[in-house]
């Protein structure tokens, strides 16, 4: 297994205090990155610091609403002020709302899924990639999902939001491919986290993809080894 070196690289992980985000942050920190991450609650800071130990000194924590354009602009500004640039964006922000038939989805739930999964990806893309254009390079990895590849009953809002992330990635990659910027996304299936185990206690957990495995894929996409890959949606399903 290759050991990646991100020494001196400024890496922004959005959603870095969740179960998957913590693993991604830890992987980048072990590889020498200068890390910035967003958080919602102070408990998330505690959880991440507990996981990474002494490496916490290399983390810049920033609390922002990533569905608000002014907050996203401020986020980018704070990271650039601290580190001088943004070499990598690993966007792990998102969520899932239990599915309903289309005829039962209310407007609020629809908007919640689109805002949480797609609008955040759009705003981060807009402002982080603008910074990468100014610095003539960078890597962006968004988190879509396996259901984004095709429709599924009782899941229209989630599917539409994640499908939108895939199309956003494809479009943006085409726009900036000549500027030294790679835009890709990952497509997890069910991730082996404690919340998912509690929600599906009778499932075969051995088939689920582990956060550490996803982190390795993201480090690859953030590395120079991924230079010829652009606009891709990478399956990370485990055995599910």
pLDDT of residue 54: 96
The 10s digit of each residue's pLDDT in 55-65 is 999 999 999 99
The backbone region for 117, taken as left when phi is positive above 0, alpha when psi lies in -120 to 50, beta otherwise, is: alpha
The domains of the chain are located at: 10-236
Q: Would you state the pLDDT for residue 9?
A: 98
Q: Residue written as tokens 């590849």?
A: 149
Report the largest interatomic distance among the alpha carbons of the chain, rounded to a whole angstrom: 51
Q: What is the CB-side half-sphere exposure of residue 185 using CA atoms within 13 A?
A: 31
Q: In the predicted model, is pLDDT for residue 2 greater than 90?
A: no
Domain 10-236 has CATH 3.40.50.720: yes
Please report, in angstroms and rounded to a whole number, the separation of the first and last CA atoms in the chain. Answer: 23
Residue 69 tokens read as 């354009």
CA distances from 180 to 63, 115, 173 (A): 29, 29, 10
Nearest 5°: CA angle at 196, between 166 and 125?
A: 25
What is the per-residue DSSP string for 201-228?
Answer: TTS-GGGSBPHHHHHHHHHHHHSGGGTT
Work out the average pLDDT over 67-73: 99
pLDDT in the model for residue 1: 60
- pTM for this entry: 0.96
Q: What tokens appear for 25 in the block?
A: 């942050």
Q: Kindly write down the DSSP assignment for every residue of 109-134, as one continuous string.
A: HHHHHIIIIIIHHHHHHHHHHHHHHH
pLDDT bucket at 97, cuts 50 / 70 / 90: confident
| Confidence band of 99 (pLDDT split at 50, 70, 90) | confident
* Residue 148 and residue 163 in contact, taking contact as beta carbons nearer than 8 Å: yes
Q: Is the pLDDT of residue 75 over 90?
A: yes
Q: Assess whether pLDDT exceeds 90 at residue 186.
A: yes
The percentage of residues in the chain with a pLDDT greater than 70, rounded to a whole number, is: 100
pLDDT at 152 over 90: no
Q: Give the catalytic positions in this structure.
A: 158
CA–CA distance, 173 with 184 (Å, rounded to integer): 8
* pLDDT classification of 240: cutoffs 50, 70, 90: confident
Q: Using 50, 70 and 90 to split pLDDT, how confident is the model at 67?
A: very high
For position 98, what pLDDT does the model report? 74
Q: How far apart are CA 192 and CA 19, in angstroms?
A: 9
Q: What is the mean pLDDT of residues 17-45?
A: 97
- Locus of tokens 């899924």: 113
């Amino acid at each position: 297994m290759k050991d990646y070196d991100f020494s001196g690289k400024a890496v922004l992980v959005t959603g870095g205090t969740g179960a998957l985000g913590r693993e991604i942050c830890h992987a980048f920190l072990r590889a020498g990155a200068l890390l910035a991450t967003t958080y919602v609650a102070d408990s998330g800071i505690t959880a991440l610091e507990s996981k990474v130990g002494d490496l916490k000194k290399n983390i810049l924590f920033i609390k922002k609403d990533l569905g608000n354009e002014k907050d996203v602009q401020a986020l980018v500004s704070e990271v650039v002020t601290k580190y001088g640039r943004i070499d990598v964006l690993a966007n792990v922000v998102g969520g899932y709302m239990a599915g309903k038939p289309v005829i039962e989805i209310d407007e609020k739930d629809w908007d919640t899924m689109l805002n949480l999964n797609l609008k955040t990806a759009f705003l981060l893309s807009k402002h982080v990639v603008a910074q990468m254009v100014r610095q003539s390079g960078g890597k962006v990895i968004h988190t879509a999902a396996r259901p984004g590849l095709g429709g599924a009953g009782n899941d229209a809002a989630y599917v539409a939001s994640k499908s939108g992330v895939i199309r956003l990635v494809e479009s943006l990659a085409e726009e900036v491919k000549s500027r030294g910027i790679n835009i890709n996304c990952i497509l997890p299936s069910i991730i082996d986290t404690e919340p998912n185990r509690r929600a599906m206690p009778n499932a075969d957990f051995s088939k689920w993809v582990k956060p550490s495995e996803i982190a390795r894929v993201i480090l690859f996409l953030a590395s120079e080894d991924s230079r010829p890959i652009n606009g891709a949606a990478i399956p990370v399903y485990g055995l599910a």
